[in-house]
Structure 1
Amino acid sequence: MLKIILYSESWYEGKKVELTSACDNLGDYGMNNTVSSIKVEGEPWNVYEQADYKGASYVLHPGNYATWTAWGGENDKISSVKPAPSITLYEHANFAGKQLHLNKGCNFLGYEGMNDVVSSAKVARGDWIVYDGGNYNGESHTLTPGDYPIWTDWGGTNDRMSSVRPA
């Protein structure tokens, strides 16, 4: 289950708020700039130092973050959270062959052994922009949540995906 649990004190002490969906202002829960420890369950979450998903951000993978140093941020600085975007790319049509799961952009799929071989995709969360060139260049297409069993479903050219990023 997709969940983030926020605590006002280190080591999972103090006020506790559990969320299963995005929150653009933790002040709505009395937790704005008071988060000192976090537990993440299911899938990664993005946490932001300012409301409305602004300011410095961190991707927190499933696990426990007993103190703010565990995620590399500052104490009492988290103001908004949302589930990380999620896409899975597949080497062959109909979700077959090698696969690559991403929660953040990849400026060259060759680093993952997937340059110019992607033929299908599944978008779980967020909108994604796919490019036929590296470094987010070239022809692009936006994929919204859903399944794309063959490259023609997103209007691309066969096996011509070289970079991808959240929209």
Structure 2
Amino acid sequence: MRIYERPNFQGQMMEFSEDCESVQENFCSHDIYSCNVMEGYWTLYEQPNYRGRQYFMRPGEYRKFSDGGHLRHHRIIFYEDRNFGGQHHECMSDCSDLHSRFEECRSIRVESGMFMIYDRPGFMGTQFYMKKGEYSDYMGMTGMNDCVRSCRVIPKHNGSFKMRLYEHFDMGGQMMELTDNCPNLNERFHMSNVNSCNVMDGHWLMYEQPNYRGRHYYMRPGQYKSFNEWSGNNSRIGSIRRLMDL
């Protein structure tokens, strides 16, 4: 099979006749937009070492991947000094404990994909959303300290979005349903305290203040019976937005 960095078999091409644990070690582009499967049946994975979302590929030409995008690798690089200096450490998947890799982090570069970083192991504590870009002094930009202890990949989502908010714990009390962004929860629903929620579709960010400001929390599909389960200090929520490929 042959993979290409652009649609319609354009750009850099790389040919495979056997398994490959890490495409990006040999392929300069982090994204694959088209491919030609000439012989055999293959499975493509979004992450190295055969992990993440999978795509079954039978013989044929794939001029543009039908999910509206491409196969994306997620890559974030942590630097011990500001302005991308000092030792650096790369991550391309979820990591629940980064302490064994480095002690301090003062700048970050997100080369592709979206991530949440946390100041405690196990995806706990203060968290911050990071999209593709350079953060030369991320402590000054985010207000976080230099302790990055875990990070989580935010997968690309192309489907619908739906979440339900509840005023009481364990999905009790008044319920409000969201399918799009909400810059001011109180103005829209006359509700500023959320004690539990059910994320049914898509990935979201909840902010403590209106207009997507202040401390925020990554919400992936699942039930959250109390604000403690999304690492909230309290139940106050001011705005909510869908996490799309921004």
TM normalised by structure 1 equals 0.51
- The residue aligned with 1:160 is 236
> Which runs of 5 or more structure 2 residues have no equivalent in the other structure?
1-61, 71-157
Q: Of 169, 175, 183, which aligns to 1:107? A: 183
> Which runs of 5 or more structure 1 residues have no equivalent in the other structure?
1-27, 33-49, 54-81
Is 1:96 the counterpart of 2:172 in the alignment?
yes
Q: What is the aligned length?
A: 95
Q: Of 210, 224, 244, which aligns to 1:148? A: 224
Structure scoring higher RCO (CA < 8 A, sep ≥ 6) equals 1
Q: CA deviation at 1:114?
A: 4.5
Matches within 5 A, 1:12-161: 51-52=68-69, 82-161=158-237
Which deviations, in whole Å up to 9, do the C-alpha atoms of 1:131-163 show, x marking residues without a partner?
000000000010110000000000113221110
- Consecutive aligned runs of 4 or more in structure 1 exceeding 6 Å deviation: none
Structure with larger Rg:
2
CA contact 1:91–1:114 (8 Å) conserved in 2: no
CA contact 1:136–1:163 (8 Å) conserved in 2: yes
The share of aligned pairs that are identical, in percent, is 28
CA distance in 1, matches of 2:239, 2:191: 8
Q: What's the Cα RMSD here?
A: 2.6
More helix per residue: 1
TM normalised by structure 2 equals 0.35
CA contact 2:205–2:242 (8 Å) conserved in 1: yes
CA distance in 2, matches of 1:161, 1:94: 17
